Amino acid sequence: MPLNLYFSPTLIRRLKLALYEDIQSGDITTNLIVPRNFDITAKLITRESCVISGLILIPIIFRFLSAKVKVTLIAKEGSQVKAGQTIATISGPARAILTGERVAINFAAKLSGIATATHEFVKRIEPYHTELLATRKTAPLLRDVEKYAVQCGGGHTHRQGLFDQYMVKDNHKEVLKAMGARLASKAIERLRRSRKKGVLLTVEVDSVREIPWAMSFRPEIILLDNFSISDLRKAVRFVRELSKDEGVAKPLLEASGGIALDKVRAIAKTGVERISVGSITHSVRSMNFSLEVTSPEALSSRA
Listed residue (180, 143, 179) closest to 163, CA to CA: 143
70 catalytic, yes or no? no
169 catalytic, yes or no? yes
204 catalytic, yes or no? yes
Q: How far is CA 96 from CA 59, 62, 73, 103, in A?
A: 12, 7, 18, 12
Listed residue (298, 224, 300, 291) closest to 39, CA to CA: 298
Residue 1 has pLDDT above 80, yes or no: no
Catalytic residue among 13, 47, 169, 177: 169
In Å, the largest CA–CA distance within the chain is 82
Band (298; pLDDT cuts 50, 70, 90): very low
Mean pLDDT of the chain: 93
- Residue 221 to residue 249: CA distance in whole angstroms: 11
Catalytic residue among 77, 144, 225, 254: 225
For residues 41 and 89, the answer to whether their CB atoms sit within 8 Å is yes
Contacts with 50 (C-beta within 8 Å, 6 or more apart), sequence order: 80, 81, 112, 113, 115, 116, 287
- Residue 91 to residue 112: CA distance in whole angstroms: 22
| Model confidence pLDDT, tens digit, residues 24-59 | 999 999 999 999 989 999 999 999 999 999 999 999
77 catalytic, yes or no? no
Domains plus CATH for the chain? 9-115+285-298 (3.90.1170.20), 122-282 (3.20.20.70)
Tally of CA atoms within 13 A in the half-sphere of 164 that contains its CB:
6
Catalytic residue among 137, 233, 234, 265: 137
pTM of the complete model: 0.93
